[in-house]
Chains A and B, each alone.
Chain A
């Protein structure tokens, strides 16, 4: 009968994978993966069929690899799958909630199913449901809850047993903009304030950028990239500026001090009416400021864009050989 194991895992990487492969007959789902995940909020990216779901299932001990090893929180997935699941939570993408129970009952039952004694299970369930934003709704039958609330119940059952790691698969699926916002905040809080490691699998890069501090990209069963998000992308050379006022005069004024500016051409990089200013030193910032001040134009935005996670992703995923791609040519 163990008390909290959380302390034992401090400092260790949360997941360690060596040479992991998984075949389903002819199909290679994972191909010799080597990966170490720190105690972070990890974003897992990749096309459908790139191996993300297979990887999560192996980490949860739900399926065995064909070759290689994986360990979660220091426990080997092949031999200690059951113990791993005591300390890992899973929020699947699909509908997995029963309809004719209340949220409180179900999450309490799930807590017991994770090994908590009955009374503690009920208490934790009530607490966690409150933390995820369900007040009196937790006593309502699940079938009477909106999509957003159901997603929260799914999240609640994943964290009710205070796991060391939570795997979330498309956590904002089907939610409206506010629901998505709330859910992302919740997830971020779970990681930042409670120190629970996360693996978030999602297709929405903005969500990953918002919540995660580490990113892993898989493609065709292979690891393409695994690094902290801050390191992702380098700053592009140019400045982007938006002004309200006489654009031509502004461009002309800048040219007068040797700073080249032009209207934005590439639609991907610039928002509408952004100007591109060539950067060749910090003096350019001052030139922009002064030109705007002298002409009396409003300086609405000024930024030096980073290469986005999207550019990185597309760059990484385009690399493998086109032949044999199952996805219709991307």
Chain B
């Protein structure tokens, strides 16, 4: 078909073929910070089962529901009984004892999920070909685990604090007066979640198989508990027994919680002040991080 002649006054025909092919990328490159953000976000969403089969989502959903549900139930009962008594149904210390178990189960699911598949399927090779360092990888995973575990321990407890104070006769005054409680909640919640998370990750860093990591975390924890408590019991009431309890995750967490929120009525005195337990847990966290670094950072 001949091209129309403009001199004749006809409109010129128009047609164009566009290149659908590979183009060079001319956009922004955000470098290492973006890589770290991406890895953290991805680790969080994979652990929660987002974009995976529903079976991967079940455990997190149940655990979050239980934690939130407990808070609601406790608040509900307290609200109902508020006319009759000032007593709380579940003290913060009790609550952390309860959360400890929930958190333990949570860590046993998410920590292996975060580390094991990357190792087993050797995706680590591809990750390390990206603009991050090996240490970056470890830190991103720790951050992701921390974010997840904190939402399970600190957030419900903070909500409990909030609702409880809102139920008081003078809510705003109560909130101000009990601000210290919130700080202690942050400390206890933070330490417990980081403590369990770091141990879970450290254990998971040794194997590529979730099927091994999960039981090791669970059984390891139970066995440690059993052993420590048996030894402590056998040693009787003495200082050494008290020191031994630093090795028991449940005892050290409970002791931290109870020493931060001393009960009104008679449970035996906690042997050490709260900062001793906090230091013990912090030390464990540091050791666990060091283990992870040792597992990932030296080049093969």
A and B touch in the complex (CB under 8 A): yes
Q: How many whole Å from A300's CB to the nearest CB in chain B?
A: 39
- CB of A194 within 8 A of CB of B22, answer yes
What chain A residues lie within 8 Å of B131 (beta carbons)? 82-86, 113-115
Whether B268 sits at the interface, judged by CB under 8 Å, is no
| Segment from A33-41, A87-95, A271-279 that makes contact with B | A87-95
- CB of B35 within 8 A of CB of A115, answer yes
Compute how far the CA of A114 lies from the CA of B37 in the bound complex, rounded to whole angstroms.
Answer: 11
Select which of A2, A96, A115, A118 is within 8 A of B32 by beta carbon: A115
What chain A residues lie within 8 Å of B22 (beta carbons)? 127-128, 131, 193-194
Whether B280 sits at the interface, judged by CB under 8 Å, is no
What chain B residues lie within 8 Å of A144 (beta carbons)? none
- CB of B132 within 8 A of CB of A96, answer no
| Segment from B72-80, B116-124, B270-278, B287-295 that makes contact with A | B116-124
**Nearest neighbor of B37 in chain A, beta-carbon distance:** A112
What chain B residues lie within 8 Å of A128 (beta carbons)? 22
Whether B267 sits at the interface, judged by CB under 8 Å, is no
Q: How many whole Å from B49's CB to the nearest CB in chain A?
A: 11
B 38-63 contacts with A by CB, 8 A: 38-39, 42, 51-52
What chain B residues lie within 8 Å of A312 (beta carbons)? none
- CB of A92 within 8 A of CB of B25, answer no
Select which of B31, B127, B128, B299 is within 8 A of A86 by beta carbon: B31
Whether B238 sits at the interface, judged by CB under 8 Å, is no
Compute how far the CA of A82 lies from the CA of B126 in the bound complex, rounded to whole angstroms.
Answer: 14
- CB of A194 within 8 A of CB of B24, answer yes
Q: How many whole Å from B38's CB to the nearest CB in chain A?
A: 4
Asked, given contacts A98-B121, A109-B38, whether A6 binds B24 with beta carbons under 8 Å apart, the answer is: yes
B 2-50 contacts with A by CB, 8 A: 21-32, 34-35, 38-39, 42
Select which of A88, A97, A118 is within 8 A of B123 by beta carbon: A97
Whether A116 sits at the interface, judged by CB under 8 Å, is yes
- CB of B122 within 8 A of CB of A96, answer yes
What chain A residues lie within 8 Å of B32 (beta carbons)? 82, 86, 115
Q: How many whole Å from A182's CB to the nearest CB in chain B?
A: 16
Whether B133 sits at the interface, judged by CB under 8 Å, is yes
Q: How many whole Å from A266's CB to the nearest CB in chain B?
A: 44
Asked, given contacts A96-B122, A98-B121, whether A115 binds B24 with beta carbons under 8 Å apart, the answer is: no
B 80-138 contacts with A by CB, 8 A: 117-118, 121-123, 125-133
Interface of B is mostly: loop
- CB of A1 within 8 A of CB of B38, answer no
What chain A residues lie within 8 Å of B27 (beta carbons)? 3-4, 116-117, 120
A99-128: contact bitstring with B at CB < 8 Å (1 yes, 0 no)? 111000100011011111110100010011
**Nearest neighbor of A130 in chain B, beta-carbon distance:** B20
- CB of B29 within 8 A of CB of A116, answer yes
- CB of A63 within 8 A of CB of B299, answer yes
Interface size class of B (residues with CB under 8 A): 20 to 34
**Nearest neighbor of B56 in chain A, beta-carbon distance:** A100
Asked, given contacts A86-B31, A117-B28, A162-B24, whether A94 binds B125 with beta carbons under 8 Å apart, the answer is: yes
Compute how far the CA of A81 lies from the CA of B132 in the bound complex, rounded to whole angstroms.
Answer: 9
- CB of A4 within 8 A of CB of B24, answer yes
- CB of B130 within 8 A of CB of A85, answer yes
- CB of A92 within 8 A of CB of B126, answer yes
- CB of A86 within 8 A of CB of B29, answer yes
Compute how far the CA of A83 lies from the CA of B33 in the bound complex, rounded to whole angstroms.
Answer: 12
Compute how far the CA of A114 lies from the CA of B26 in the bound complex, rounded to whole angstroms.
Answer: 14
What chain A residues lie within 8 Å of B133 (beta carbons)? 81-82
- CB of B28 within 8 A of CB of A3, answer yes
**Nearest neighbor of B46 in chain A, beta-carbon distance:** A101
Asked, given contacts A98-B117, A162-B24, whether A112 binds B38 with beta carbons under 8 Å apart, the answer is: yes
- CB of B21 within 8 A of CB of A131, answer yes
- CB of A96 within 8 A of CB of B31, answer no
Whether A222 sits at the interface, judged by CB under 8 Å, is no
Compute how far the CA of A194 lies from the CA of B32 in the bound complex, rounded to whole angstroms.
Answer: 25
What chain B residues lie within 8 Å of A298 (beta carbons)? none
Q: How many whole Å from B220's CB to the nearest CB in chain A?
A: 26
- CB of A120 within 8 A of CB of B299, answer no
Q: How many whole Å from B115's CB to the nearest CB in chain A?
A: 13
What would 18 more interface pairs be, CB under 8 Å, given A86-B31, A90-B125, A114-B131?
A3-B27, A5-B29, A62-B128, A85-B129, A85-B132, A92-B125, A92-B126, A92-B129, A94-B122, A96-B121, A100-B117, A109-B42, A112-B42, A115-B29, A115-B35, A118-B38, A124-B25, A131-B21
Q: List 25 A-B contacts (CB under 8 A).
A: A3-B26, A4-B24, A4-B26, A62-B128, A62-B299, A81-B133, A84-B131, A88-B129, A90-B129, A92-B129, A96-B123, A100-B52, A105-B51, A113-B127, A114-B130, A116-B25, A116-B29, A116-B30, A117-B27, A120-B25, A127-B23, A161-B29, A193-B21, A193-B22, A194-B22
List 3 A-B pairs, minimum CB-CB distance, nearest first.
Answer: A162-B25, A112-B38, A90-B129
